[in-house]
Amino acid sequence: MSHDWNSIDPQWAWSPYEPDARCPWNRARAAHLFRRAGFGADSQQLDQAVHQSPQQVVDQLIEPPADITAFDQSSGDLVAFALATGDVHRLAAWWMHRMLRSPFPLQEKMTLFWHGHFATSAEKVADAELMYRQNQLFRNHALGDFRRLVHEVSRDPAMLIYLDSATNRKAHPNENYARELMELFTLGEGNYSEQDVQQLARCFTGWEIRRKQFRFNPYQNDEGEKTLFGQRGKFTGDEAVELVLSRPQVPGFIVRKLFRFFVADEPAPPDQLLQPLAEQFREEDLQLRGLLRRMLGSRLFFSDRVVGSKVRSPVDFAVTALRSLRATTNVQMLSEMCGKLGQMLFYPPNVKGWDGGRAWINSATLLGRANLVRQVLSDPATRFDGGGLLDVARRHGKERPEALVDWLAELLLAVPLSETTRMELVDVGRAAGNETAFREVLYLMMTLPEYQVM
Amino acid sequence: MIRSGIAVSRRDFLRSGLAGSALLALNGQVPAFLRQAAADAANRSDHILVVLQLSGGNDGLNTVVPYRDPLYYAHRPELGIPAGDVLKINDEVGFHAAMRGAAELLEAGKLAIVQGVGYPQPNRSHFESMDIWHTCFRKTQPRRDGWLGRYLERVPQPSELPALHIGDEQQPLALASQEVRVPSVASFEEFRLQAEPAVRRKLEALVARNAEQNDGLLDFVRSSTQAALRASQQLADIAKSRNTAGGYPRTPLGERLATIAQLIGADLPTRIYYLALDGFDTHAQQPAAHAALLEQWSMAVKAFFDELEQQGNAARVLLFSFSEFGRRVQENASQGTDHGAAAPVFLAGPGVRPGVHGALPSLEDLDDGDLKFHTDFRRVYAALLEDWLGLADSAPVLAGKYDPVPVLKKAT
Amino acid sequence: MCRLRSSCGPLAFVFSVLTLTVPVLAGEGELAGLLPESTVLYVELQPAVVLERLLAHPVVKRIEALPQYKVALANPQLTQLRAAVTLVELRMQSTWPELVASMTSGGLVLAVDGKTDGWILLGKAANSEVAPRLRDTLLSFARQQAREHRQPDPVRSGEYRGILAQQVHNVRIAVFDQWYLATNKSDLGKAVLDIYLDKSAATLASKDSFQQAIQKRSPHTDVWAYADLDYLRRAGVAADLFSGKADNPAAELLLGGVLEVLRKAPYAAAEWSLSEQRACLRLYAPIESGWIRQPREYFFGAGLSGQAADLPRPEGTLLSISTYRNLSEFWLRAGELFDKETNDQLAQADSMLTTLFSGHDFGRDILGAIEPQWQLVVARQQFAADQPVPAIRLPAFALAGQLREPEKMRRELRRIFQSLVGFLNIVSAMQGQPQLELDEQRDGDLHLVLARFIPEADRPADAQVPIQYNFAPTLGFRGSRVVLASSPVLARRMLEDCPSEPVPPGTNTGLLIDREPLRQLLADNRTQLVSQAVLERGRSREEAEEEIDLVLKLLEAVDRFQMRLVTGEMIALEFELGFAGQQD
């Protein structure tokens, strides 16, 4: 398949998806939406989705559901435990539990996006509570106002500790946060000058972290005149953030990152393709909800070239299969294993976050993925809707091996299995016709190259 | 070329598998001439560098002992290694008595020692000094990556696993890069597919069967999966056929070096391996602890090259061992030594010019009680990068032009 | 007769019919008199009695009353097993408890033979009819099953010296008078039949070590086992265990002395008994002080003279341990005790510990300053009103001993403690962790040096108090007594005249676990334990709550647990679990 986007009309791409014979609204396309906008759907959710219009389903995914409050409350007990141990790895387990169980998965997916975007590693911050506060910040603004998010991140203790700005003195402005704010968080390389970095750093002097809280220290604040993007003024830190956010490159920069996260890993799309989205984002004053609604409800998003065009991240790899089968397991172990595969939550490799795409895949991680499935499936803590895989399959009338394979493929895979592969899997399921054989089918399916993309 | 026990040559393997997948990865995004360059690079040099870090600050003076120098015994009344015990290297220095393995390597022409390695204004904090060795930068400068990470970015890599960190500690900063991700694996087990032979065969068949051209991304994953299964199978075969762990100490270091030897034997295309041995921070009761570490180190390195020799891979491999600093010349009151500065580093393998390089820094002319360095560690790095790994110019990696220490035989 | 399972409690029904009173371990060597001398392992029990005691036990009754128990019974494998049992009952026209009783009224033995490497089950029934009938029934099932699978007759029959011997799969069976045997080795079966027919005298029962072992048996024993250590050593079984070089310092400290005895002792035996009040397990073997080589003298003291101090039980004690261990001797003799790799690690640990203890030699100066009687107490912690209460409430612990030179060592240890706290503060300041504040309390001859984590002044009210706040390292002195504790409250209680429980003479190690403080500790942390089960065991909140409540409920059925290692004429390791009195 050819891989540039030049042949695609941007207007067509982002207009609302309307099912037709070539691109029908069915369980497979609904599953695609749930995988990308969350962590997969179970069989029942797919049943409901196909009885609604695609736009209705997108609308539901994008708004907080009624039961999120109750979920947050019970999740609060879990995080209290994680924080009481002071162990960031337990905090990671808590987050993975949210991904697995939250009734508002898009919120968690966007929180993960912001965690990779405003990457901050506990390796350096070394404080579970600060990592949690930052995580809640991402969650609260997950689908909200990008402008406010940037303002709050600029004062976030974990971020400022990570980028060495916890003390930012007049005599030695620390340029680290100023540089990353423009290069990685809002504008992208080439859209600012070295002088802008120095001047912006001056605006942030006196911004400190004391006893885990943000504090403004007027004695260390450089109140002098600064020149930023050619404008002169005695800008405060907040005013400087506003100036950065008003640069014309911001919407395009964010839209490009969201495209790679939600739509396709590669190749990089031309600006022209992203133009309509960037314009909307600008017009809506950097509000995220409308942008996501349009992106996830678009013709391009549901087109065949987009389905299966992303490599699953370790978290997507581990969580979507479990969520699709309503499975519960030892999430502590699960999150550690994702760490071994290169995605330890709260520990991104550097300030650029996870690379994603093909970088997830190598011999070590592929064997690791297979072994992760083996371990999860043999762990006594792993249950499918409270019981065995066989029980779930029976409940859905899928106890015949053919039915099981087709049902699992529909839930888990974005790309179709070849007929020979399908028959091989059916053979495995038929071999004994019991729980072990069913788990073996699931193991093989999750180890196949087809499951590594979504 | 066919090596003992392995039917597939490294080059065939590269062409068919891992390198193929890496090149496919570039397909469509990179002009043809660059892809050609990548292929050339993959075939140009198959040298492997193993970095074995000695964490905690190794006491260089009690490792390479100046047994003729009365000042040494004056500074080390309790800890000095008696001249009769040292394993003599030359008329000036000798190995600690526990380092028989190192002495044997030296005798076989496979060990080089570079004396007096360090850097200006030495820092005595473990973390800071280690960071300086890893990044080549001081705290005041931006440190986003490490020297090996920068090297990896600059050279088209022969495969998808250009470097590996073996160990369960945090990944060393030396491997950090903005572009290249280096996996950390705790042990050999992580390269083993945990599946019954029947399941493994099934999987191999399923992955191989769908070779028809499909989506680019899926194709990439498929060939990577084939390569992974093959690598895992080759490792399993090697593990079965090798003479069991001859001579390695039964410690994590011994296991990890044995793992690396097996990975090399399995023709994994990895060029850089990194591992660490901790415990050198001997502030008190040093004699027994230090002897145990040195013996472990020498035994493990000796066993490692013995196995590589058997495989026929020794000539491709160079092992480099360093510590973040040496220790103070004067021993302390607890039969120990405190954080110091300059120290020797070690290079092992048939590719070295064996023996001692550079003079032992004076025990008289000290810098605040520490040995003065005369060879910047970046000169050793320059030798590794240019004379071993074949990098034309190490200056961008080391953030400055450093003259390689002539410790390696020139590539032919 | 109660045949309808539905009308009776599923386990209780069994015993409504068990009215036979059988003397416990009626065999008294009778069964051993049929086994060859080469028997290396021998387990004798009275199944009907053991089952009756177990199932009529108040604790089991409590378990049967739990709703979870009924759920567990619905397990398909159990259901299948019950169906099979019913089938046997129908054929035999008897209930299975009756069957068990009449089949084993003369005792039942499971043994392993060293010569043939085979196992054997040997039993004596109440009469000579029941065993053949049961055999024929079981064999007919095997034949029927084979027919269903279109397989040939699985039963092969033969004769040995006039006794019918049969083989199904790998198992050989013979029934003779009231006796019956099943074994996997025909030579072993023949050996037993030879003894029986020839009235041979050279049997296990006549073996010296067996005679000695059985004489040391306590009167009320439900299950008794014997192992021929001489034979096992000669055969090279578990050679590592008997060799004496260890690679695990913790295991060496716990069991090194016991292993030393097992190197020489001719036999070891075990006995088990159960009553309404307690369950006891006692493992014993002969001991002689000459068997203990010098490197392991640290364990029992010279000439087995080491005697543990009393078990301290200050308020809230959930675990108390008192032991004799000459740790200084242990540390200094590590070279002879451990293999090379372990010694290399210990050398590194020694270097690090000596650094931490400001240059004092850890083995000689620190461990050597304290007498070899050690006491360890773990107690539920109460937090002072002005101290932050951590969200996870760990128990406090205290390690106590006697100083050899109190005057000199008190000052020395106090200084080491202070520099250690200073060192910790520097390290934790670098990592942004809370700081410790030093304090001292004097009260007559009682003296505490302590360090507390300082409360963070501007912490948000809803923030979790971290787990570190469970710890306030404390060093306490009174006279020659020294205590290292994780809480000043516990240190003080240990030093004031705290209640204690004496241990019998010859006690090397005593251990006591008290139910109520343990139960309270779990109850204190219920929310946290529930959260942990959700995250780490994939439970739903409801399931996790039910589980922890079940554990709390089960704990109510037990009283206290004790363990003792005692030396004298014998060495004995005794475990005793007490049960709570009936509440309802």
Q: Are strands A226-228 and C481-485 parallel, antiparallel or unpaired?
A: unpaired
The domain segmentation of chain A, as residue ranges, is 145-264+266-289, 314-452
Q: Which two tokens stand for residue C458?
A: 């501007």
* Sign, CA torsion C490/C491/C493/C499: positive
**Is residue B28 scored above 70 in pLDDT?**
no
Q: Please give, rounded to a whole number of angstroms, the shortest distance from the CA of B278 to a CA of chain A.
A: 20
Check if the beta carbon of residue B149 is closer than 8 Å to that of residue B175.
yes
**Is residue C485 scored above 90 in pLDDT?**
yes
Instruction: Please tell me the predicted confidence (pLDDT) of residue B385.
Output: 96
Strand partners, C273: C280
**Is residue B9 scored above 80 in pLDDT?**
no
Instruction: Please tell me the predicted confidence (pLDDT) of residue B273.
Output: 97
Instruction: Please tell me the predicted confidence (pLDDT) of residue A433.
Output: 58
Q: Please give, rounded to a whole number of angstroms, the shortest distance from the CA of C484 to a CA of chain A.
A: 24
**Is residue A94 scored above 70 in pLDDT?**
yes
A276-290 tens-digit pLDDT: 999 999 999 999 999
Percent of chain B with pLDDT over 70: 85
A158-192 tens-digit pLDDT: 999 998 887 788 888 888 899 999 999 999 989 99
Distances (CA, A) of A251 to A287, A296, C408: 10, 17, 74
Surface-to-core class of residue C540, CB atoms within 10 Å of its CB (0-12 exposed, 13-18 middle, 19+ buried): middle
**A contact test, residue of C531, C537, C539, C547 with most A CBs within 10 A:** C531
Q: Which residues 6+ apart lie within 8 Å of A60 measured at CB?
A: none
* Mean local confidence (pLDDT), C378-401: 89
C172-190 tens-digit pLDDT: 999 999 999 999 999 999 9
Percent of chain A with pLDDT over 90: 85
Neighboring chain B residues of A3 at a CB cutoff of 8 Å? 28, 216
B55 touches chain C (CB under 8 A): no
Q: Band of the pLDDT at C5, cuts 50, 70, 90?
A: very low
**Number of alpha carbons in the 13 Å side-chain half-sphere of residue C177:** 6
CA distance A200 to A228: 7
Least CB–CB distance from B203: residue in A266, A351, A444? A444
CB contact (8 A) between residue A81 and residue C531: yes
Q: Which chains touch A (3 or more CB pairs under 8 A)?
A: B, C
C403-417 tens-digit pLDDT: 999 999 999 999 999
* Mean local confidence (pLDDT), B168-186: 85
CA distance C18 to C24: 15
Domain of C174 in residue numbering reads as 5-206
What type of residue sits at position A350? N
**Residue C197, domain member (yes or no):** yes
C216-233 tens-digit pLDDT: 998 888 999 999 999 988
pTM of the predicted structure, to 2 decimals: 0.83
**Residue C284, domain member (yes or no):** no
- Total length of chain B: 412
Instruction: Please tell me the predicted confidence (pLDDT) of residue B29.
Output: 41
Q: Band of the pLDDT at C131, cuts 50, 70, 90?
A: very high
Q: Please give, rounded to a whole number of angstroms, the shortest distance from the CA of A97 to a CA of chain C.
A: 7
* C-alpha torsion A7→A248→A351→B216, nearest 10: 0
CA distance A136 to A117: 15
Bond before B287 cis per omega within 30 degrees: no
Q: Which residues of C24-46 are buried (b: 16+ CB within 10 A; e: fewer)?
A: bbbbebebbbbbbbbbbbbbbbb
C196-205 tens-digit pLDDT: 999 988 999 9
Mean pLDDT of all residues belonging to chain C? 88
**Residue C142, domain member (yes or no):** yes
Q: Band of the pLDDT at C396, cuts 50, 70, 90?
A: very high
Residue whose entry in the numeric block shows the structure tokens 């997948």: B21
Q: Give Cα A120 distance to the centre of its chain.
A: 15
* Mean local confidence (pLDDT), C9-17: 39
Least CB–CB distance from C359: residue in B251, B289, B334? B334
Q: Band of the pLDDT at C109, cuts 50, 70, 90?
A: very high
The dihedrals phi and psi of A218, each to the nearest 5 degrees, come to -60, -25
**Is residue C464 scored above 80 in pLDDT?**
no
Mean pLDDT lowest among A131-140, A308-317, B181-190: B181-190
Q: Tell me which range, A138-147, B157-166, C246-255, is most confidently predicted by mean pLDDT.
A: A138-147
* C-alpha torsion C129→C130→C136→C138, nearest 10: -170
Q: Number of Cβ pairs closer than 8 Å across A and C?
A: 75
CA distance A50 to A57: 9
Instruction: Please tell me the predicted confidence (pLDDT) of residue B23.
Output: 39
**Residue C329, domain member (yes or no):** no
Mean pLDDT of all residues belonging to chain A? 94
Check if the beta carbon of residue B127 is closer than 8 Å to that of residue A124.
no
CB contact (8 A) between residue B225 and residue A444: no
Check if the beta carbon of residue A58 is closer than 8 Å to that of residue A333.
no
Check if the beta carbon of residue C14 is closer than 8 Å to that of residue C97.
yes
Q: Which residue on chain B is closest to C346 by alpha carbon?
A: B289
B293 touches chain C (CB under 8 A): yes
- Structural Rg of chain C based on CA atoms: 30
Nearest to C400 by CA among C485, C463, C280, C327: C485
Instruction: Please tell me the predicted confidence (pLDDT) of residue A222.
Output: 94
Q: Are strands B163-166 and B184-185 parallel, antiparallel or unpaired?
A: parallel
**Is residue C55 scored above 80 in pLDDT?**
yes
C537 touches chain A (CB under 8 A): yes
CA distance C55 to C62: 11
CA distance B225 to A361: 9
Neighboring chain A residues of C537 at a CB cutoff of 8 Å? 330, 381
CB contact (8 A) between residue A83 and residue C467: no
Least CB–CB distance from C538: residue in A78, A86, A383? A383
The domain tally of chain C equals 1
Instruction: Please tell me the predicted confidence (pLDDT) of residue C457.
Output: 67
According to DSSP H, which parts of A216-348 are helical?
A: 237-245, 249-262, 271-283, 288-296, 299-302, 314-324, 331-340
B257-282 tens-digit pLDDT: 999 998 898 888 899 999 999 999 99
Instruction: Please tell me the predicted confidence (pLDDT) of residue B158.
Output: 54
CA distance A341 to A365: 5
Q: Which residues of A62-81 are buried (b: 16+ CB within 10 A; e: fewer)?
A: beeeeeeeeebeebeebbbb
B191-203 tens-digit pLDDT: 889 888 888 899 9
C541-584 tens-digit pLDDT: 999 999 999 999 989 999 999 999 999 999 999 999 999 875 54
C354 touches chain B (CB under 8 A): yes
Nearest to B102 by CA among B256, B249, B289, B302: B302
Q: Band of the pLDDT at C48, cuts 50, 70, 90?
A: confident
A319-360 tens-digit pLDDT: 999 999 999 999 999 999 999 999 999 999 888 899 899 889
Instruction: Please tell me the predicted confidence (pLDDT) of residue B244.
Output: 59
Q: Band of the pLDDT at C243, cuts 50, 70, 90?
A: low
Least CB–CB distance from A78: residue in C432, C464, C534? C534
**Is residue C10 scored above 90 in pLDDT?**
no
Surface-to-core class of residue B91, CB atoms within 10 Å of its CB (0-12 exposed, 13-18 middle, 19+ buried): exposed
CB contact (8 A) between residue A453 and residue B194: no
Neighboring chain C residues of B251 at a CB cutoff of 8 Å? 341, 344
Domain B11-16+41-187+272-398, CATH number (from 3.40.1350, 1.10.3470, 3.40.720, 3.30.450): 3.40.720
CA distance C535 to B385: 47
Q: Which residues 6+ apart lie within 8 Å of B346 measured at CB?
A: B102, B111, B112, B113, B114, B319, B320, B321, B322
* Mean local confidence (pLDDT), A198-215: 91
Instruction: Please tell me the predicted confidence (pLDDT) of residue A173.
Output: 87
CA distance B342 to B59: 10
Neighboring chain B residues of A180 at a CB cutoff of 8 Å? none
Q: Which two tokens stand for residue B364?
A: 């008289």
Q: Band of the pLDDT at B36, cuts 50, 70, 90?
A: very low
The domain segmentation of chain B, as residue ranges, is 11-16+41-187+272-398
Distances (CA, A) of B91 to B73, B75, B84, B94, B349: 16, 20, 13, 8, 24
CA distance A109 to A39: 8
Instruction: Please tell me the predicted confidence (pLDDT) of residue C14.
Output: 38
Q: Band of the pLDDT at B223, cuts 50, 70, 90?
A: confident
- The separation between the first and the last C-alpha atoms of chain A, rounded to the nearest angstrom, is 16
A56-68 tens-digit pLDDT: 999 999 999 999 9
**Residue C134, domain member (yes or no):** yes
* C-alpha torsion C17→C21→C27→C31, nearest 10: -20
C162 touches chain A (CB under 8 A): no
Quick one: angle between helices A363-378 and A314-324, nearest 10? 30
* Mean local confidence (pLDDT), C495-523: 94
* Mean local confidence (pLDDT), B4-12: 35
**Residue C92, domain member (yes or no):** yes
DSSP state of A263: T
Neighboring chain C residues of A333 at a CB cutoff of 8 Å? 536
* Mean local confidence (pLDDT), C359-371: 90
